[in-house]
Structure 1
């Protein structure tokens, strides 16, 4: 995703829909960066992981490889055109695709071990609410990776504007935002080659609700 700020779901769809068909061609060399970003999550075989705001699904092959055939890989995006582009690219073979707002996910509490989110934060109309929803669906001790294949300064230079102090992705802003949403920031990188913030889901005092009855293939887009 890009650094374009939007306010409502239909604005997000309006921005991404006409760009979906050419999205992968616009960023043809991002695959290795995505694979390294996924590796930072420390996924184990059999884990359950969500790519939140998956777009055309560039992270899905690496996520599937990390969790193996007994793991669960989901991709959720708000824009149908992006999910259709993911299907055309064959990435639906690596994950079940959900047409869903990541601020209102159709998943039970504590259903996941981890979430990967590329370029998502600046597209959340209410970042705290969105991060809180991601915390809801991740088990205590699970991980969240906020990722971009280039750092904030490089991205700002590409767009012709400076990095601003109020950028939510800056560590002094991100750390308290995550803390107030159920996460502890445990790793932060912001270099030319990537942006990566890894957070751990805070322990919950209450027992996690059962996920009995949750079908791994629910919500698949075909």
Structure 2
């Protein structure tokens, strides 16, 4: 996995992705959203407790941060037998290698008990089926820099920035050209190498912001 990013859901908390199924009369509604902080994950969970208090359970799990390294993970059975809801959901999220994600599965009891194994399959399965349809995007980590150079170098420097998938945020024109830019973390070394000759000749200054 790239050190500069990882996959995250495209759906925000205001419009989460939703998957619904009926299992032995019980209605299971899985909702999944992008939650880049623990506070946002908790707020997303709380929303359903407030808006759907008549539901039997709102079980949840979240993975905040890079899924390959984060310790910001948690889950809850919300009254279901211990280990039958939150943990199966969390295991599915962890194996999906998607970060900054919260899943809430709401259950409306339909009158038939599913047993511990049935509950685990229902909650974990709802999340798994939702993830199979979920749209994701790459969350890229970047660093910001400032470049000062002569006017006659501007076009060449802009070309080199574009080559490393950098984005120019601002340009100021004084006695020289000053560019503020943002570069994917994985491409910083490539940028530094491409500018090295200009820096050595004192034709350019590169500063990290």
If the length of structure 2 is used for normalisation, what is the TM-score?
A: 0.26
- Which structure: greater strand fraction? 2
- The TM-score normalised by the length of structure 1 is 0.25
Q: Which has the larger radius of gyration?
A: 2
